[in-house]
Homo-oligomer: A and B are copies of this chain.
Amino acid sequence: MFVTPQSMHFADSLPLQSGASLRDYSLSFETYGRLNADRSNAVLICHALNASHHVAGVYAGEDKSEGWWDNMIGPGKALDTEQFFVIGVNNLGSCFGSTGPMHANPDTGRVYGADFPVMTVEDWVNAQARLLDVLGIQTLAAVMGGSLGGMQALSWTLQYPSRVRHAVVVASAPNLTAENIAFNEVARRAIVTDPDFHGGHFYQYGVVPKRGLRIARMIGHITYLSDDVMNEKFGRQLREGIDLRYSTQDVEFQIESYLRHQGDKFAEYFDANTYLLITRALDYFDPARSYGGDLSQALARASCKFLLVSFSTDWRFAPKRSREIVKALLDNRRDVSYAEIDAPHGHDAFLLDDPRYLGVVRAYFDTVAGEVASASVGAQHR
């Protein structure tokens, strides 16, 4: 499936939760499959930390350019683009095409840098809704996301309850724990205290705070994997066969080599200000906050049907966090399916090929497709 990224410009100012606003912004997006006649088969995919609008398919002429959820979404796949019109949107503040910190502030003509306004999950959802308005899509057959993307899917059901029929929330949580925030904060401090960060205006110095980005990514990778899978993949294997080198600075164990490699790769392409913005959006998300912490009250506004999926070894967004959402929805007598997949891969599992996981999602979307088809038939006869 060859795909082409698109961009949509918005001239109207977007009011943000912080009180600030963003004007003259663009959203990068992609679509897969075809919108049906009554525009009822659209599925919006929300992305997590370092992903983008490039969800599925490949770019012509670019090897290894598969979208980040290409194992999930495409013709005949669990989310079947022969049945659904799937939309991927790059969030504001990201570094993959939509307006972000490396673009010029139209008010000053200078690159935003650290002055790019703080974005929240709710702000992203509002921006996504405006894109759907322009695309002529009033109601989504489903909104779907994993991790931070799952938070956006959940928020859709609260901000625009009448515009969502189904929400698929994978490996997510109703908010971050203190430990989650702590990991984000250490990563941010590593970036912000890198001398090359220059208070977030490093672009004009022609440098990138790569030291900080590397540390941030290494911390991230530890939290994405499970202890079990790390032991299985790396254990205490030495890089150099069986001989110890006795060095504090050289690589000695394979796990060190893996983490350094991941850090180096990330620092080459990811924007430091984007990292700060996205981790902050994670920290802030907390729909129960306005309800004194009562998640059941907070989710009362949701009216769609839900599929929640969690993974047994995910210690970043553990199954118990998904169960909190399930319980709050059941308290409101909502229609909820919940699958807890026994998988060894930790948080990363939501991006991987687990047949039970993909099977659950496929079965759910088969039902959604059935609803879409019968509603379309109904519409034709009306």
Chain A contact residues, CB within 8 Å of chain B: 17-20, 114, 117-118, 175-179, 181-183, 185-186, 188-190, 192-195, 200, 211, 214-215, 218-219, 221-222, 225, 227, 230-231, 233-236, 244, 246-249, 252-253, 255-256, 259-260, 263, 273, 276-277, 279-280, 283-284, 286, 289
B177 near A227 with CB under 8 A, answer yes
* Chain B proximity of A195: nearest CB distance (Å): 6
B179 near A193 with CB under 8 A, answer no
* Chain B proximity of A324: nearest CB distance (Å): 13
Q: CA A176 – CA B351 in complex, angstroms?
A: 28
Q: CA A61 – CA B246 in complex, angstroms?
A: 42
B255 near A185 with CB under 8 A, answer yes
Q: CA A221 – CA B178 in complex, angstroms?
A: 12
Contact with A276, one of B114, B233, B248 (Cβ below 8 angstroms): B248
Report B-chain residues with C-beta under 8 Å of the C-beta of A192: 249
Q: CA A157 – CA B115 in complex, angstroms?
A: 59
Known: A182-B230, A186-B222, A189-B260. Contact between A176 and B236, CB under 8 A?
A: yes
A215 near B218 with CB under 8 A, answer no
Known: A179-B222, A181-B253, A218-B189. Contact between A246 and B211, CB under 8 A?
A: no
8 A-B pairs within 8 Å (CB atoms) are namely A19-B246, A177-B236, A178-B230, A181-B236, A182-B218, A182-B230, A193-B215, A236-B289
B286 near A189 with CB under 8 A, answer no
Q: CA A128 – CA B336 in complex, angstroms?
A: 62
Closest 9 CB pairs of A and B: A18-B246, A248-B276, A178-B230, A118-B246, A178-B234, A193-B211, A185-B256, A186-B218, A178-B255
Report B-chain residues with C-beta under 8 Å of the C-beta of A190: 190, 215
Q: CA A349 – CA B274 in complex, angstroms?
A: 37
Q: CA A186 – CA B246 in complex, angstroms?
A: 18
A244 near B284 with CB under 8 A, answer yes
Report B-chain residues with C-beta under 8 Å of the C-beta of A181: 236, 253, 255-256
Q: CA A218 – CA B193 in complex, angstroms?
A: 13
Contact with A186, one of B230, B236, B259, B283 (Cβ below 8 angstroms): B259
Report B-chain residues with C-beta under 8 Å of the C-beta of A17: 246
Chain B, residue nearest A175 (CB) = B236
Report B-chain residues with C-beta under 8 Å of the C-beta of A253: 178, 181, 185, 283
Chain B, residue nearest A279 (CB) = B248
B214 near A189 with CB under 8 A, answer yes
B178 near A118 with CB under 8 A, answer no
Report B-chain residues with C-beta under 8 Å of the C-beta of A189: 214-215, 218, 260, 263
Sample of 4 further A-B pairs with CB below 8 A, known A20-B246, A248-B273: A18-B246, A185-B253, A188-B248, A193-B211
A182 near B283 with CB under 8 A, answer no
Report B-chain residues with C-beta under 8 Å of the C-beta of A230: 177-179, 182
